[in-house]
Amino acid sequence: MTGAILANSFKAALKRGEKQIGLWLAMADSYSAEICAGSGFDWLLLDGEHSPLDLRTMLAQLQSVAPYPAHAVVRPPTGDPVLIKQMLDIGAQSLLIPMVETPQQADMLVRATRYPPHGFRGVGAGIARAARWGRVGDYLDRANDEVCLLLQVETRAGLDNLEAIAATEGVDGVFLGAADLSASLGHIGQPQHPEVVAAMERAIATILAHGKAPGLLATDESVAASSLAQGARFVAVGVDALLLVKATQDLARRFKADAPASSGPSPY
């Protein structure tokens, strides 16, 4: 068994410069993930940083999304090489690593996602879902090339080192975390503060200049459209939990005067 099972369509699309529209999954549930997988998005973010997603529930989500065209991008809670190894072994091909601040950290993460001699990922393909338990005969030869590594820059220190991070060989894209970045720049909860907006625009241009794909999450449709026009390549335009909050509150309010008011502005 070889071929298509290893091909990372999301990585290939980013290399071609195609815009990829995604949805953030924060509900940590395989059933809702499958519903979203059939909704027409190019990619889905399985969030292990700010949701109760663990390795088992992540595996269930990967399995539920697998039959659909939407590509699963996995965000671990931290850039721990042990977690990265486990996530790759259960079948994740695209990883979004939070809180990257230095080129040294970027280089370490590249090596953590690659087998020797290009990295130090442990070799366990024979018992891993990623290689279909050894049934993908050329997995070890091709796995390195099919990994898509996205690094999340979301602090002032990360911005200061953005040139070097984006220049790191093996990094496919840089995701700009507006919520944490606004906090780091002294404007917590204000991702649309002029200083934050200007920093994001400069960052998108810098990432593009290094031939990498810029990405972000923007639940405000006008912000998402503006970012895409500036050159962002992979943009999540909603969050499953927030969509459910809004839809249920709006429905209740149409029938009950004492229903909760709509939520305030999203921090994304």
- Could you tell me if 24 and 239 are in contact, meaning their C-beta atoms sit under 8 angstroms apart? yes
Contact 92, 113 (CB under 8 A): no
> Strand, coil or helix: what is 249?
helix
Q: Compute the CA torsion angle 79, 85, 90, 92 (nearest 10 deg).
A: 50
**CB 121, CB 79: distance < 8 Å:** no
Check: CB of residue 216 under 8 Å from CB of residue 232: yes
**Which residues carry out catalysis?**
50
H or E element at residue 124 = none
The Cα 221–Cα 226 span in angstroms is 9
- Cis status of the peptide bond prior to 77, with omega within 30 of 0: no
* Cα–Cα distance, 243 to 262 (Å, whole number): 11
From the list 156, 181, 152, 166, the residue with the least C-alpha distance to 103 is: 166
